[in-house]
Each structure stands twice: as structure tokens, then as C-alpha cells.
Amino acid sequence: MTDDDKALRLALAERLAAGGYLRTAPWRAAVEEVPRHEFLRGGFFERADGPGPTAWRPVLPDDPRWLARCYDDDSLVTQIAGTIVPRDIRGEIMRAPTSSRTLPSLVVRMLEDLQVEDGHRVQEIGTGYSTGLLCARLGDSLVTSMEVDAGVSASANIALGACGYFPELVVGDGLAGHPGGAPYDRTIATCGVTDLPYAWVEQTRPGGLILATLCGWLHSSELARLTVAEDGTARGTFLGGQISFMLARPQLPPPLDNLPAFDNGEERTAVLAPDVLDDWSTRFVAQIAAPRAQRISLDRDGRTEHVLLDADAGAWAVLTQDGDTWTVRQGGPERLWDAVEDHVTRWKADGAPPLERFEVTVTPEGQVITWSKV
Ligand SMILES: C[S@@+](CC[C@H](N)C(=O)[O-])C[C@H]1O[C@@H](n2cnc3c(N)ncnc32)[C@H](O)[C@@H]1O
């Protein structure tokens, strides 16, 4: 560590405190202590400006901007397409990011929301800078971190070692948790999930907390905090803030490579137009109704078709506009737009309660999300 990076750490802590993300002294001390650049020794990708699909360009530690950029309040992409790291690329690449160093303001907001106390044992899903902060705050012997990607875990291991931290690192699917270290006082996920795994409830002690971002394939998501009850269930609410995260790998949506013809469906006048899905909260409600649906738009015969498609089940809904009227054509084993209209209409009739008034319950049978009337 050098005076340069110490000054950068202090400045980052100051910025996060001024922004209201860093709220307590022990977490501030952790941000001041942990060198984020150790977790970015392999470089990162930055977005290349230009028209068309997003392209990514590597920034390596020999770039004069690298050190300062490591302490920006920015999410920095560290892996693309499941395997490609910055050193693999010269020029630009146009594929989807698969691992990143999370936005520092989001990491510390989540760590504050985790409400840890001295002596707490924490299970974390997604290993990296956040693991370093947990070690600084609690002591590395109380931290277990799971990472699905062996390469990401190995480089985080080197970075943590350089900081003097040796937590238990497990390579594997964090959705199964790590029962060997249970019970935990806290479980935190730094990747998004579509369904909160019951394993986390089983492995967190009664009275303990689970913090994770509930995401969906329509791209609306919310941070949830649940308390584990004595009866082996967990219940909680959303904390607000429109947080988004990379999805846990086993819960990524299937690729949309073989689109059905969208013919021979049942047709009716739609009650709701597809632009209801442009609103974050409405989209979240729609996701509850059609959790396996993905949204695409197609230009066919000179007009735009707005499509919801559940690729695994083969269910689809296509919305097209005729003047002021929308028509929906639906096919497959489920009527996706019927389900969306039913949920959204009931939610609006209940006063369109904000997502903070929703409740999430996880039992051995699965996850249920409900809302209460305004
Ligand atoms: C946004 S990154 C956060 C990394 C880290 N917490 C940090 O602060 O730098 C999300 C991480 O979750 C990991 N991940 C995705 N699915 C996972 C799973 N099922 N189990 C464990 N880790 C997973 C990804 O490989 C990725 O490294």
C-alpha cells in the first residue's frame, strides 16, 4: 500500500459518507482500510463510446488512469462472456459482462443494511471487494464467501491475501449455500436471484437476516431483507432504491435463439398496453405474474410487435397496436398477458402500493411475494 492509495481510500470513504451510503463508523473504518485496487490487479473493462451494441475496452494496471479509477464510485467489469478477462483482449469486445467489482456505494449500503454486530458469522455469495470489507469489519475467521467462478475466486483469494485476510472461500453454487459453516448470523448475496433459495433460510439462525436482491427476467429488481423465524421460514420486505445486480448464474434466462412463429394464438383486445412495463414497479408486479417471461420487440411487416416469451414453457403473448387499441395474441400452455393484466390491475386497484409495502416469504415450498393495500 502506498500513500497514494491511502489518500484515495480516505477520499472514497468521505464521498460515500457524504452521499449517505456509509452510515456507521465501523464500516467507514473498513472502507478506509481495504485497498480496492488489490481486487482489480487484473484490470477492468470500460465501456467504449460509439453507436450500436455496447463494446468494452480493457484498462490494465499500467494505464496511468487505473489506480484512481479503482477508487471511483463505479461498478467495474472484470470478466466478459464467462471467461474473458481484460488481459485477453486488445481492442474492444462486444459480449455481456459476467463479473464485476460492485459499485462501492451499493456494497456499503448493503453492508450497512445487513445490520451486523461484532462477533457475527456471515455467509456471502459472490467473492471480491465486499469480502475484504466484511473481513475488515468482523475478522476473517467469521467470514465465508462462495463464488461460482473458480477463476474469480482464485484472484479474489490473492487480493484478500495481499490485504492480510484469509476467510473461508468456497468455489461452488452459492444458491446451495455452504452448510459446513452454518449456522450463520447473516447471509448476503452480491449477485441477484430470481428465487431466494430455501438453503439460505436453513443455514441462517433464527433471528438472523438474509439480504439479497430479487431480480427478474423483465429487469426490475429490489433489495430484500428477511428475518429467519423459529419455524424455519423467513419473511421480510424490500428496502427500496431500485437496485440491480448480475443474476446468479444458474438463474440466468435461457437464450432466445429459436423464436416460435407466434402464429395460431388466441386474439383479444388488450386491457393494458405494453408500455405499462416501462415503469419499474409495474414491471416488478408483471414479473411476479410471469416470472419466466422475457420481453423482446420485433419489427415484422412494417410494424412493431411487443413480445413476452417464456422460452422454456413455449408460452408467448404478442401485442400490436391498431390506432388507439392494442390487440394481444397469446399461445402456448399459459396466457402470459392475462396473468400480467390480472396482477397489474389488482395492484392498481389496491392503490398501487410502492414496493416497500411488499412482503417476501420463503418456506420449504418456495417464495411468495404479496403486497398490502395502500
Ligand atoms: C457483482 S459481482 C460481486 C463480486 C464481489 N462481491 C465484489 O464486491 O467485488 C457478482 C459475483 O457473483 C458471482 N456469482 C454469480 N452466480 C453465483 C452463484 N450461483 N454462486 C456464487 N457466486 C455467484 C459472479 O461470478 C460474480 O463474481
pLDDT at 53: 80
Q: Rounded to an integer, what distance in angstroms lies between the CA atom of residue 62 and that of residue 323?
A: 58
Ligand 1 close to Cβ of residue 105 (< 6 A): no
Q: Is the pLDDT of residue 1 over 70?
A: no
Nearest CA to ligand 1 atom 17: 248
Q: In which band, very low, low, confident or very high, does the pLDDT at 49 lie, cut at 50, 70 and 90?
A: confident
Average pLDDT over residues 150-161: 95
Matching CATH number, 266-349, of 3.40.50, 3.30.160, 2.60.40, 1.10.101? 3.30.160
Ligand 1 close to Cβ of residue 8 (< 6 A): no
Q: Residue with C-alpha cell 451499493?
A: 106
CA of 349 to the centre of ligand 1 (A): 38
Average pLDDT over residues 122-133: 97
Nearest CA to ligand 1 atom 12: 126
Ligand 1 close to Cβ of residue 152 (< 6 A): yes
Pairing of β 234-238 and β 222-228:
antiparallel
Class of domain 103-250: alpha beta
pLDDT digits (tens, 9 = 90+) for 280-321: 999 999 999 999 999 999 998 888 999 999 999 999 999 999
Kindly list the domain boundaries of the chain, sorted by start residue: 103-250, 266-349
Q: Rounded to an integer, what distance in angstroms lies between the CA atom of residue 136 and that of residue 27?
A: 9
Buried b (16+ CB within 10 A) or exposed e, 200-230: bbebbeeebbbbbbbbbbbebbbbbbbebee
Q: Rounded to an integer, what distance in angstroms lies between the CA atom of residue 225 and that of residue 297?
A: 34
CA of 99 to the centre of ligand 1 (A): 7
Alpha helices, H only, the chain? 3-18, 25-33, 66-70, 104-113, 129-138, 150-162, 198-203, 280-289, 336-349
Mean pLDDT of the chain: 95
Q: Is the dihedral of CA 159, 163, 164, 170 positive or negative?
A: negative
Three cell numbers, residue 217: 427476467
Query: C-alpha dihedral over 251, 256, 257, 259, to 10 degrees?
Result: 140
pLDDT digits (tens, 9 = 90+) for 85-107: 999 999 999 998 888 888 999 99
Indicate the top mutation candidate among 191, 215, 243, 249 to test ligand 1's pocket, ranked by most ligand atoms within 8 A of CB.
Answer: 191
Average pLDDT over residues 236-252: 92
Q: Is the pLDDT of residue 259 over 90?
A: no
